[in-house]
Amino acid sequence: MKIKNYILRIKIPKINDSVNYLQILDKTKKYKRSSIKINENKEYITILINAVDVSALRGSVNAILKEIQIIKKINLLH
């Protein structure tokens, strides 16, 4: 049986150039069934999620997007 691998790349525009997302978020995260890699440039945050199944992919997407959403909300308060 061939093992499937699910890969998702998310590209999010940065709201504020002064926020360094990599200082707040871990550059890499490893879970039992998935991993997350984050890159950042002046304009975008790029998130690469690699998972062994759809459920692990969904969980990783929810985890990282929740963190980014919190950062954006805090940034809007200042």
- On whether the CB atoms of residues 38 and 50 are closer than 8 A, the answer is no
- On whether the CB atoms of residues 10 and 46 are closer than 8 A, the answer is yes
Phi and psi (nearest 5°) for 18? Answer: -80, -15
For 21-72, how does the pLDDT look when each residue is reduced to its tens digit (9 = 90+)? 888 888 888 989 999 999 999 899 999 999 999 999 999 999 998 998 888 8
CA distance 42 to 30: 25
Q: Which domains does the chain have, with CATH numbers?
A: 6-77 (3.30.310)
- On whether the CB atoms of residues 52 and 9 are closer than 8 A, the answer is no
Q: Quote the pTM value.
A: 0.83
